[in-house]
């Protein structure tokens, strides 16, 4: 018998390191990375009606309405690659209504990872963040600088990565986090996100290996 593919959720405040850890997790576990923020930014870049509406909320650091986000994420989860390889859901759900909707569609995660980082560190991470439009890789001017001059020259910044806007995103996060956590309490793993990105990954990796080990053990018993 083959084990079911992994279904993972990762959550945390803005700039707590979700995207950075997702790069490392997908490299090792080959899960399909589904980031609500990335899906929304793709709509904004494509200039769709949903994108235009979404941007109004993203600029204020508020949650984009469920009628846009819920369908978008659900459709991505239903794609054959997510079903076959398993998924890594990043930045969703962010409210109890989103969590309830997901459950209603039959999507239940195996594990809910929460990255814990205090507020004073988050602002510095956001302001120094840069993105490589060619590879999609996430950098930080101080903590994860680009490898070459060529990459450094083409780095871009997100439109909502200012000190003022991250504070608004943080308010939204703080308002909703407890409601989401209460729905996944029994499968939540809290990870100290202030450690180096390698050390954060070591902890996440241990939790995922443990989960796979438990599954294998229960299959072996059958
Ligand atoms: P989204 O794109 O999800 O933004 P966010 O939650 O604010 O999170 P970030 O992407 O900013 O940070 P991250 O945790 O991925 O950190 P990263 O790894 O880049 O959402 C944007 C907007 O879209 C929302 O405000 C909302 O409007 C809308 N939206 C999204 N999802 C929605 C939903 N479900 N419903 C409704 N609306 C939704 O790291 C940050 C920086 O720190 C980088 O520079 C990195 O290099 C550095 N870094 C990372 N780890 C470390 C480390 N361990 N040590 C030192 N530096 C590190």
CATH number of the domain to which 33 belongs = 3.40.50.300
Distance CA 213, CA 63 (A): 36
Q: How many helices (H) and strands (E) does the chain have?
A: 10, 7
Determine, yes or no, domain membership for 216: no
Taking residues 1-17, report their average pLDDT.
91
Reply yes or no on whether 190 is catalytic: no
Sheet holding 87-90, edge to edge: 32-35, 87-90, 7-12, 111-116, 188-192
Q: What share of the chain is helix, strand, coil (3-state, %, to 5)?
A: 55, 15, 30
More confident residue, 199 or 4: 199
> Within a domain: residue 88?
yes
Give me the phi and psi of 80, to 5 degrees please.
-55, -35
The pLDDT of residue 1: 61
Assess whether pLDDT exceeds 70 at residue 176: yes
Helix (H) or strand (E) holding 120, with range, is: helix 119-128
Residue pointed to by tokens 């070591």:
202
- What band does 4 get if pLDDT is binned at 50, 70 and 90? confident
pLDDT of residue 135: 95
Selecting among 94, 125, 130, 165, the annotated active-site residue is 94
144 CA distance to ligand 1 middle (Å): 15
Average model confidence (pLDDT) for the chain? 95
In a domain, 146, yes or no: yes
Across the range 25-32, mean pLDDT stands at 97
Inside any domain, residue 87: yes
169 noted as active-site residue: yes
Q: ipTM surpassing 0.85, yes or no?
A: yes
Domain ranges, residue 128: 7-207
**Is 61 contained in some domain?**
yes
Find the mean pLDDT for residues 55-65.
Answer: 96
Nearest-CA residue for atom 41 of ligand 1:
125
What total number of domains does the chain contain?
Answer: 1
Cα of 25 vs centre of ligand 1, distance in Å, is 16
């Amino acid at each position: 018998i083959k084990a079911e593919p992994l279904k993972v959720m990762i959550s945390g405040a803005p700039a707590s390191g979700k995207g950075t850890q997702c790069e490392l997790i997908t490299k090792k576990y080959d899960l399909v990375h589904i980031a609500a923020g990335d899906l929304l930014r793709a709509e904004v870049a494509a200039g769709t009606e949903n994108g235009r509406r979404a941007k109004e909320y993203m600029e204020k650091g508020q949650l984009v309405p469920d009628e846009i986000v819920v369908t978008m994420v659900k459709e991505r989860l239903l794609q054959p690659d997510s079903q076959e390889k398993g998924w890594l859901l990043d930045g969703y759900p962010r409210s109890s209504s989103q969590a309830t909707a997901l459950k209603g569609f039959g999507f239940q995660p195996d594990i809910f990872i929460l990255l814990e980082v205090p507020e004073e560190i988050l602002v510095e991470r956001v302001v120094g963040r840069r993105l490589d439009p060619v590879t999609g890789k996430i950098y930080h001017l101080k903590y994860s600088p680009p490898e070459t001059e060529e990459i450094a020259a083409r780095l871009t910044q997100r439109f909502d990565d200012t000190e003022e806007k991250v504070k608004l995103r943080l308010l939204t996060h703080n308002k909703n986090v407890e409601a989401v956590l209460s729905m996944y309490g029994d499968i939540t793993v809290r990870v100290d996100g202030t450690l180096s990105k390698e050390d954060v990954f070591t902890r996440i990796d241990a939790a995922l290996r443990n989960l796979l080990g438990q599954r294998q053990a229960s299959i072996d018993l059958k």
